[in-house]
Amino acid sequence: MTEHFGKQPVFRAGMRDTIVHMLARAVENWGDNEFLVIDRVPYTYAELDRRSNAMARAFAELGVKKGDRVVTLFNTNIDVFTCWFAINKIGGIWVPINTAYRGEFLRHQISDAGARVAICDPGYLERFIQIANQLPELGLLLVRGQDDIPPCPIEIRRLDDYRGTDQAALPIIVDPVDLCSLLYTSGTTGPSKGCMISHNYLAAIARVNMEYTWQEEGETLWTPLPVFHAAALSGVVAVMTRGLRMSVSSTFSVSTFWEDLEEAGATVAMLMATIFPLVAQAPDNEAAKRYFGKLRMAFGVPITPELRKVWTERFGVQVMSSWSYGQTESIRLCGTPYDITPPEMCAGKPIDLYDVVILDDDDQPVPPGTVGQICHRPRYPDVMFGGYWGRPDSTAAVWKNMWMHTGDLGRMDEEGYMYFADRAKDYLRHRGENVSSFEVEAAFMQHHSISEVAIHAIGKQTGDDDIKLTAVLRDGAKGDHKALCLWAIENLPHFAVPRFYEFRTSLPKNPTGRILKYQLRDEGVTVDTWDREAHGIKVRRQKVK
C-alpha cells in the first residue's frame, strides 16, 4: 500500500510508492509549479498530468493493457514524458531505447521486450521500416508529427491522432511491485538485457538522489542527458518528490553551455563525464564569469581530482564526480552526501538501501584494502532491479550465494569507503556511453569481408576508451580500412564506431578458443593499425528532426 508522505518526503524503511502516485501527489501539492522546462518551454505538473491522462485513455483504446511493453524512440521533447506517464497510468511498461540505435541493435531490443506497440519521432521511421520484416510481434507504430504514411509491413499511424481529449484523472491501477520500465543494459557480456525496473525501485532511488543532492525549493536541476539514460530518468522522478523544477536540453553545446545554464537559472547540473573537460578547456566567456558560483553542484562520473579542481576554482562549482557508483541494476549503490568531502577517487559509502561487500572468487569477504568483486543485496523489497526480462538464466548467473555480483572490481577501506578498481566485464566506455563489444562484434560479422573480429580498448581502460577493431578477413576478401570504417558509420551508433582498424591473419586465443583481448589491448596501436582520425574522418551523433 502506498502512503501519502506530504511535501517533504524522505526515504525510510518500509516506504512503498509508484511513479503514478508520486505524480498525483505532486499535482495535488504543487500542480501549478513548473515541472519540466524542455528547450526553454515550461510545463507544469498539472499540465503534464492532464496530457498523460488523455493519452493514456487513447492508448487503452488501442488495446494497450497492464503489463504490455511499449517502446519509444524519441528525441528529447514533451512527448517523451507524456508517453512515459501515459503508459504507466494504464499499467504498461515503458521501454525507452537509445536514439543512436539502428539495425540489429534496435531490432534486438524491440524483439526482446516483446513490444506490440512502438512510438517514434519521424526521423527514426526509416529505421523501423528497414527492420520491419524482422519484427513479427510489433503490430503498430505511432509516429509523432508524421503526415505521410509510407508503406510498411507494420501498421503505421499518426501519434497526433491519439493524444486524446478526456483529461480527467484516471483510477490508479499500479502497485509498487509492478514494473514501470525496462531499461536495457549495454550488453557487456552478451546481447543487451532488459533490466526490470519496478515503480518502487525507481521511486526509492529518486528519493535517495534528492537526499544526497538536496536540491532546495526554488532551485532548478539542468541536464542535457537524454531520458533513455537511467540517470536522467531518475532525476525526473527525484524532482517530483518535492515539486521542484527540471530543465532539460535536447542538445549540448560547449559555446552556449553557460548561457544555457543562465537562461534556465540552474543551480544543479547532471552531466556526462565527457562534458567536464570540454567546458574546462573552453575559452573564457562573459556568461561563465557572470554565472561564477551560481551553479552550486554538478554530477558526472568518472572525473579526475585535477579536473574537479579546475571546475571549483574557475567556475565556483562543487563537482560530485567519483563520489558515487551504480549500475542500471542498482542505479545508486554507493554515494556521498553533497556536504561531505570523501577521500579522493572513492565512490562513497554504501547507501542505506543495500548491503555491499567485496568478495573473492569463492564469494568469501576480503580484508579492507583488498581488491575483489563488488557484490550487494537489498535491505528492503523492490529497491533494485527485478532481474533480466525473459532471461532467468542470466539473472541466476549474477545472483549467487545470496549476493548480486556486479562483475566490477573494487576495494573498501577501513572506514567503509568503496573504490572502483577495474572492469571485470568485457566492455568499453566511449563518449559517455557504455559500448557492448559483443554487439559491435555481432554487427561487424554481418559485413561480407569479416571472418573473425575483436572489439577492444587501446591500453588501459580509463573511462573514455579509444576503440579498436582487430579482424581476420574472409578468404579472398580485400582489406580496405576506410571502406569498413564508412560502413561502420552507417550501421553503428556513433559512439560505437571504432577509431582504429587492423587486419590480421589470426587472433590470439586461449586453449578453449576465447580471444585474448587483454593481449590485443596491450599491443595497442601497431604499425599495421589504421587510424580514422589521422585520415580526417570524424564521427558525430546524427541530428534528426
Quick: pLDDT tens for 177-226: 999 999 998 654 567 899 999 999 999 998 888 877 767 888 899 999 98
Higher pLDDT, 6 or 244: 244
Report the range of poorest mean pLDDT among 117-131, 452-466, 481-495. 452-466
Q: How far is CA 372 from CA 336, 379, 422, 423, in A?
A: 22, 22, 10, 11
Residue 277 has pLDDT above 90, yes or no: no
Look at residue 232 in the predicted model and tell me its pLDDT: 86
Q: How far is CA 469 from CA 245, 444, 497, 524, in A?
A: 43, 9, 9, 11
Question: How many whole angstroms separate alpha carbon 46 and alpha carbon 48?
Answer: 6
Residue 358 — φ and ψ, nearest 5°? -110, 120
Q: In this structure, are strands 530-531 and 500-504 parallel, antiparallel, or unpaired?
A: antiparallel
Quick: pLDDT tens for 258-275: 999 999 999 999 988 778
Q: How confident is the model at residue 403 (pLDDT cuts 50, 70, 90)?
A: very high
Look at residue 4 in the predicted model and tell me its pLDDT: 31
Question: How many whole angstroms separate alpha carbon 167 and alpha carbon 158?
Answer: 20
Q: What domains does the chain contain, in order, with CATH numbers?
A: 19-31+39-200 (3.40.50.12780), 209-228+243-422 (3.40.50.12780), 427-535 (3.30.300.30)
Quick: pLDDT tens for 428-446: 777 777 787 777 888 898 8
Quick: pLDDT tens for 311-342: 999 999 887 655 678 888 998 898 877 777 78
